[in-house]
Structure 1
């Protein structure tokens, strides 16, 4: 007899069906509430996805350029004066076993760069003049926007290769025998224009000439100001440790050894901090969406007192009423979460396509976004569900 009077248990399918009743009867309100959740999740997914896509593109570039490039530059003496690298620094570095290639540039002092002699001397545009070895492009993975690199012949004559930024500032779009500039008052033919060099940015703002012509025309002393080395990938740190003493055995403390990829690591750290800030904004948007869900569920309880009273009169328990409204809140949040994940992926894909990046959306971000919606839905729907369950049948049916 007691088994006949006990209330029927709701199966999971029945819970979903009953919980969806409120969403079907009030679609506009449900859509707007789910939209709040969707915006927060989409913001989080897009921020993580765009950041991951940017890093994937950076990794792709580094993989193509190589992370084994080390640079050696002169530092300062113990008295704070500018030091210089020995003339034999390159040849000594080449003797290091794991070093595969070496090249260098030297600053040509007093060789200001102008488009023509009509330009006022004060308007230098901050361009530098460098003497360079012939194997420089291979060592730093430089490519060309126009023209060619220096060779054995042009390195001895007034011929110059411009960096990408230098060419733009001088108003030069292509290289050719008819294109000339002034370097230190001497006319030089522009034989090439470099594309941006990711791992040697100092070349972008420079006019680059051959080592011999820099010595003949400007009295270049031959001391390199930057030596670039390529080493075995597995031996990069070991090579880095001995570069200073090898380049200048007499004063190894006056040598700075840097690694361009370290700067890129710092850039990543800054990007991670920016990502954290945007994730915080996404979390705020998600919280606002959760408040919207809670508000919707509280109003739903107030408007559906008659339904609650009728169900209680027909034998529904407090637990079943509580389960119904909690399921409705979870369904509402889940719809917003799924929509937000899809929207975030679309935004990430679109932006990555525009930037020519590989599209990357970490799986943890998608899973975390959906888990966050479930948590938000559960918290937002808990109070309205408990409030609905506490209504007695007579109180609910008597409500206007």
Structure 2
């Protein structure tokens, strides 16, 4: 008679069984799990917020440039060989207009006049507001807009009327425009007919009181030389036009002419923000590392507290691999909870900040996916040692533990 021996094979844990067992371990310690997940969430939210706010700012800049145009070039006088201030010829504006790809040309000229809120303000308190002669097509060519009143026109540019830049109006205490709004300009009263909104491509206009070219020459002693010339060129020929503007504006002394592209300044400002973003990303990385340490600490303590459970499961037939998978699954679930929470928090922070700044809220998909993936990697690394330690416990050692 032959005796048949049956060898029992441990049941395999299916993926849903792994998730269920790992989730049960987390539910047993909700407060500890919450605090550990919070550390992960703060790190992910910090990094996602930096990326989202940066992307939103970039998108806002792109929309601004699309609306204002990147084909604006400015021409201004530089210095002579002896370091003295130069000036553009009176004919410079017309000569630039003869360049074929140039579609629009306008100019401003700085006067020596000063402007005050009224005639009782001391002469020294100018508020750093300049008085600038302006062409009628200036507002259109530089992409500026008005917040109040109207721009200079054929009926007002030869009379004592002024349009204030955004900062100039604020410094002079002028919030509205109209016949009853006057400022003391060049020793006489000028009526404020308009107030400009901030001009991103021509920030020098923000601190200026703009008057008509004829009235500046007749009443303010303006010499008629343009101080800044603004030229719009066809997009595909901007580089070529930029290269010939100096020689065109001042053929005799092209080296005394400065040519710039205002949109480049805005782009450079955006680039400087990258330094701050890198710093904030670093802080977010530190927070994420701290969260990972919290996960590791939670899992180590969990192994120590649950030695009896581990011994019982081993006694009932659980393999070392199953114990290892169980604790690794707990670590990954804990990190995933923190990662998803951090992504949601980061989206909320980005949306709130973008709303306050009137920006479009942009959160790149790669950043969200990367945030969750980063937490899973951290969870795997943080939970590896506790999982191995739990798997190495023998049933008798675990059950004998107090």
Shared fold by TM > 0.5? yes
Structure 2 residues not aligned, in runs of 5+:
none
In 2, distance between residues paired with 1:115 and 1:343? 48
Counterpart among 46, 50, 53 of residue 50 in structure 1: 53
Aligned to 2:348: 346
Counterpart among 263, 274, 284 of residue 282 in structure 1: 284
State whether structure 2 residue 299 is matched by structure 1 residue 314. Answer: no
Structure 1 residue 90: deviation in Å?
0.6
Residues 92 and 317 of structure 1: CA distance in aligned 2, closer, same or farther (over 3 Å): same
Structure 1 residues not aligned, in runs of 5+:
none
1:4-23 aligned at under 5 Å gives the runs: 4-23=7-26
Provide TM-score, normalisation by structure 1.
Answer: 0.97
CA deviations over 1:178-223 (Å, ceiling 9, x no partner): 2221222122121111111111111111111111111112332111
In 1, distance between residues paired with 2:206 and 2:6? 85
In 2, distance between residues paired with 1:3 and 1:334? 42
CA deviations over 1:339-390 (Å, ceiling 9, x no partner): 1101111121122122221110011111110111011101110110111111
Aligned to 1:68: 71
Task: Give the 3-state SS of the residue equivalent to 1:20 in structure 2.
Answer: helix
In 2, distance between residues paired with 1:224 and 1:42? 51
Provide TM-score, normalisation by structure 2.
Answer: 0.96
Counterpart among 329, 332, 335 of residue 330 in structure 1: 332
Aligned to 1:257: 259
State whether structure 2 residue 93 is matched by structure 1 residue 90. Answer: yes
Aligned to 1:34: 37
In 2, distance between residues paired with 1:179 and 1:345? 46
Q: Paired residues, what number?
A: 399
Aligned to 2:275: 273
In 2, distance between residues paired with 1:394 and 1:163? 83
Residues 325 and 3 of structure 1: CA distance in aligned 2, closer, same or farther (over 3 Å): farther
Counterpart among 155, 168, 173 of residue 170 in structure 2: 168
In 2, distance between residues paired with 1:359 and 1:189? 41
Residues 131 and 298 of structure 1: CA distance in aligned 2, closer, same or farther (over 3 Å): same
Structure 1 residue 34: deviation in Å?
1.0
Aligned to 1:127: 129
In 2, distance between residues paired with 1:162 and 1:209? 9
State whether structure 2 residue 109 is matched by structure 1 residue 102. Answer: no
Aligned to 2:250: 248
Task: Give the 3-state SS of the residue equivalent to 2:106 in structure 1.
Answer: strand
State whether structure 2 residue 306 is matched by structure 1 residue 304. Answer: yes
Structure 1 residue 9: deviation in Å?
2.3
In 2, distance between residues paired with 1:324 and 1:2? 31
Structure 1 residue 29: deviation in Å?
1.5
- C-alpha RMSD of matched pairs (Å): 1.4
Give runs of ≥4 in structure 1 deviating > 4 Å. none
Structure 1 residue 3: deviation in Å?
8.6
Aligned to 1:208: 210
Task: Give the 3-state SS of the residue equivalent to 1:366 in structure 2.
Answer: helix
In 2, distance between residues paired with 1:24 and 1:331? 11
